[in-house]
């Protein structure tokens, strides 16, 4: 066999024509797909709202990062805004602070918690109280309850009926199931 025919044979069928690049691309593609599938089933903590009486699912939100949310409403007697700030910690909702503009019925005049006078009124903080049953009744006249979570605001009347008791709780759910229910809102 001559050197020329031997090179031709190697170039046509020999080891010079074997490339690992397509195999590496396939392995990388499979690993990427498996990682994406695993990520889709990764559980995240969401805030879930249900009808407090019937247990009917109303809506859920994934705070994506800071696991905090705020409920803002107009106080029924004082008719001034109140903000209640919460965090979600390992399946529990914890009241961290509240801000209100006036003293009166249902609003504290004294408190065992840290207290400051702020631009918006009065601030109680370092409350750290676990809420075992967080229920709000959707305002029908003036309360105008608003949930602020994940950088967006949602009025309660967008996901519940006026006067409906709305229960909030945390729930671990796979990302894919959350997205299937709520999409990318």
3 state DSSP class of 4: helix
- Taking the C-alpha atoms of residue 102 and residue 72, their distance in angstroms, rounded to an integer, is 15
Centroid of chain to Cα 170: 9
pLDDT, mean of residues 36-40 = 80
Least confident range from 28-42, 86-100, 120-134: namely: 28-42
Question: pTM of this prediction?
Answer: 0.75
Instruction: Share the mean pLDDT of the chain.
Output: 83
The answer to whether 79 and 142 are in contact (CB under 8 A) is yes
pLDDT, mean of residues 22-39 = 84
3 state DSSP class of 26: helix
- Taking the C-alpha atoms of residue 115 and residue 107, their distance in angstroms, rounded to an integer, is 13
């Amino acid at each position: 066999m001559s050197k020329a025919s031997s090179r031709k044979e190697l170039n046509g069928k020999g080891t010079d024509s074997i490339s690992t690049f397509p195999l590496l691309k396939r392995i990388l593609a499979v690993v990427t797909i498996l990682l994406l599938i695993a990520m889709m089933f990764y559980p995240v903590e969401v805030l879930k709202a249900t009808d407090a009486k019937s247990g009917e699912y109303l809506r859920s939100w994934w705070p994506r990062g800071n696991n905090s949310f705020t409920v803002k409403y107009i106080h029924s007697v004082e008719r001034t805004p109140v903000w209640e700030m919460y965090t979600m910690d390992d399946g529990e909702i914890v009241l961290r602070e509240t801000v209100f503009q006036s003293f009166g019925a249902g609003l504290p005049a004294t408190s065992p918690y840290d207290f400051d006078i702020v631009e918006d009124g009065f601030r109680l903080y370092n409350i750290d109280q676990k809420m075992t049953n967080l229920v709000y009744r959707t305002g029908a006249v003036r309360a105008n309850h608003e949930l602020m979570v994940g950088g967006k605001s949602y009025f309660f009347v967008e996901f519940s009926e006026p006067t409906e008791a709305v229960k909030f709780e945390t729930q671990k759910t796979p990302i894919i199931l959350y997205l299937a229910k709520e999409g990318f809102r």
